Amino acid sequence: MRGLIDRKGEQFAYLEGTILYTLEGEPTGRLEGEFILDLGGKKIWRVVGDGVYSLDGAESIGYFGATASMQHTL
């Protein structure tokens, strides 16, 4: 799992496999190649390395943090 961090350093979503989820656990899109697509399959963001940008590359949306595993304790 990789957190999607905005330009202010706050996580607002996470990527698990190729599916992008809100912090509430709702699927919101997917990673396909160099793009994040919404649930309808429309390209919404461009991914370059760990960086996430507007489609034209003019605006930084944020970045993906390091891969981490979530461990739940009972």
Give 25-70 pLDDT, tens digit per residue.
999 999 999 999 999 999 999 999 999 999 999 999 999 998 765 4
Domain that includes residue 13, residue range: 2-64
| Domain-embedded: residue 14 | yes
> Which residue would you say has higher pLDDT here, 73 or 70?
70
How many structural domains does the chain have? Answer: 1
- DSSP states of 8-37: TS-EEEEEETTEEEETTS-EEEEEETTEEE
- In this prediction, residue 66 carries a pLDDT of 80
- In this prediction, residue 72 carries a pLDDT of 39
SS3 51: strand
Max Cα–Cα distance, the chain, nearest Å: 45
- In this prediction, residue 67 carries a pLDDT of 72
- In this prediction, residue 73 carries a pLDDT of 37
| Domain-embedded: residue 47 | yes
| Domain-embedded: residue 74 | no
Q: What is this structure's pTM?
A: 0.85
| Domain-embedded: residue 50 | yes
